[in-house]
Structure 1
Amino acid sequence: MDLGHVFYCIGMTADFRSRPFDTVRTHVSLLADLLERQRFQSMLYLSSTRVYAGSGRTHEDAPLAVNPGDPSDLYNLSKLAGEAICLHSGKPRCRVARLSNVVGVDPHSHNFHAELIREALSGRITLRSAPSSEKDYILLRDAVGLILRIGLHGEAPVYNVASGINLTHEHWCDTLARVTGCEVGRAPDAREYRFAPIDIVRIREEFGFAPAPVLATVPGLVEEFRKCLDQ
């Protein structure tokens, strides 16, 4: 049976450190079985811009560095192994989309923005990382639109799916404080985490992509979270 156009969205998120076997299984083993045993018209493997951690360059063709001795790099290593088996499987039209931090409505998510919104609605945010920490965020609707276009029409092997704009934790907290009136505090051992801005030249040139401003959606996100949490 021909599976048609396949979007491989299986993966671990914040719990990958406590579930190492599931992380490798979902990012690599299940993918390899699918590539080996099934037929399809195209395959898009959803990876992550987290693979650029520690790298100064974030273009899709840039060489990447990982450290097997770092438990945080288990995620990066497994994603890169998934990318490699996908791109070198010999199957037609296999591509990779490296997703940035996707912002949408999921009140039970452990993602950074979801936890901040829940804390803001409780009246107080306590930052566990430095306010100057920063990374790239992309709205869910932008990400989905790009994923569909890449999966069906992409010409390159790898694409960054990101906004190309870093937001600091302070940006998030200031915006949430204005919208909800919450207080903002900081844990005494808060460390700074910074990621290089993600290169989005490829999606700009091939698809004419222009990211929507993430923080402008915060009032709507807060209202949707409030509704879901009140149910």
Structure 2
Amino acid sequence: MTRYTVIGAGGFIGSRLVAALTARGEEVHGPARGDPGLFGRDLGRVFYCAGLTGDFMIRPFDTVEAHVGLLTQLLRDASFERLIYLSSTRVYDSLGARGGKESDILEFDVAAPRNVYDLSKALGENLCLARSGGRAAVARLANVFDWTDDAGGFLSDLLKRARREKVMTLDSSPLAGRDYIHADDVIAALLAMDAQDTDGIVNVARGEAISNGDVAAVLAQAGWTLNLTGQGAPHGPVCDVARLHGLGVAPRDVRAVIAGALSDPGFFIG
């Protein structure tokens, strides 16, 4: 039995990690926010899942605190064996089509309000890679989706809506899209990184851009209608996933995952 600590254990990914580790018989601690005992125990192997996503623009200071504040204290003061920091492939966005490799030199407009997310994640990455004594690695997560109530983001929200509506209209371009990955594949990737003591940065992504038009086609084949009325907006960077495949993890085709969900008789609840 190995001791694990999951920071952000109540969140979308953190709760799934806790369940997966517990199911295989590990000792798992999910400290509450502000737990005063966090620095008085051996944390073992740490997954740092704390963070803000959808509301970072209206909570910029909380975003920095979640991505960097507690992490700084852990790296400086806590007793732990290894740490995996969950970052985001959003850090590639300013590179456009050039981005997507773990070795990319990132670029940021420091005056852009939206970049509080990217900059804080990048600082968290820097602290892990340069100030952990070689004990920390970074998992850059792409656009994670599911159709459960706790899932968020464009594709997750669309699929949750599809559970109740067979005809939908969105003011979004059929050309717009992202590199999506299902939550279960993310958990498999994080557990592989932990098992193999992976160092540096790993893109946790499918490595393929799935457009809104692609999603609409999958929905149509299953009997749904998605009308897309927006214009323009090509997809963001597509991630290089060679390192992830080297760990023995090959995330599933997003279209097949969605099609499988839609074919489940219990998916549509009306």
- For 1:122, which of 142, 165, 181 is the aligned residue? 165
The answer on 1:157 being equivalent to 2:200 is: yes
Pick which of 5-14 and 112-121 moved more: 112-121
In the alignment, structure 1 residue 132 sits paired with structure 2 residue 175: yes
How far apart are the structure 1 equivalents of 2:63 and 2:174? 30
1:170 aligns with 2:213: yes
What do the CA deviations read for 1:146-168 (whole angstroms, capped 9, x no partner)?
A: 10111232333111111111100
Confirm or deny that 1:3 pairs with 2:46.
no
Summarize the alignment of residues 57-136 of structure 1 with structure 2, pairs less than 5 Å apart. 57-120=99-162, 121-136=164-179
1:18 aligned residue (49, 58, 67): 58
1:120-159 residue CA offsets vs partner (Å, 9 max, x unmatched) = 3323333333110121011222111110111232333111
Task: Indicate the RMSD between aligned Cα atoms, in angstroms.
Answer: 2.0
CA contact (8 A) 2:209 2:235 kept: no
Unaligned runs of 5+ in 2: 1-40
**TM-score, with structure 2 as normaliser:** 0.76
**SS class of match (1:138):** strand
Question: Match of 2:69?
Answer: 29
| CA displacement 1:159-199 (0-9 Å, x = unmatched) | 11111111001111221233242341425xx5514212101
Distance in structure 2 (CA, Å) of the matches to 1:64 and 1:217: 31
1:184 aligns with 2:224: no
Residues in 2 aligned to 1:107 and 1:175: alpha-carbon distance in whole angstroms:
21
- Contact map agreement 2:147 2:159 (CA 8 A) in 1: no
Q: 1:152 to 1:169 in 2, by over 3 A?
A: same
Aligned AA (1:47): S
Q: Answer yes or no: is 1:144 the counterpart of 2:173.
A: no
Residue of structure 1 aligned with 2:242, choices 188, 201, 209: 201
1:215 corresponds to which residue? Answer: 255
Letter in 2 for 1:178: Q
Further displaced range: 101-110 or 53-62: 101-110
Give the distance between the partners of 1:118 and 1:124, measured in 2 at CA: 13
Letter in 1 for 2:54: A
Which structure's relative contact order is higher, taking Cα pairs within 8 Å and 6+ residues apart?
1
1:35 and 1:91 in contact (8 A); partners too: no
Return 206-215 or 7-16, whichever deviates more. Answer: 206-215
Aligned length: 225
Structure 1 SS opposite 2:229: strand
C-alpha separation between the residues in 2 aligned to 1:51 and 1:181? 34
Under a length normalisation based on structure 1, what TM-score does the superposition of the two structures give?
0.88
Which amino acid is 2:75 matched to?
Answer: L
Distance in 1, matches of 2:233 and 2:169, equals: 14
| TM superposition shift of 1:100 | 0.7
Per mean C-alpha deviation after superposition, the further-off stretch among 26-35 and 87-96 is: 87-96
Instruction: Report SS of the residue matched to 1:87.
Output: helix
Residue equivalent to 2:84? 44
Mark the runs of 5 or more structure 1 residues left unpaired by the alignment. none
User: Does the CA-based 8 Å contact 1:117-1:225 persist in structure 2?
Assistant: no
3-state secondary structure, aligned to 1:7:
strand
Paired amino acid for 1:200 = V
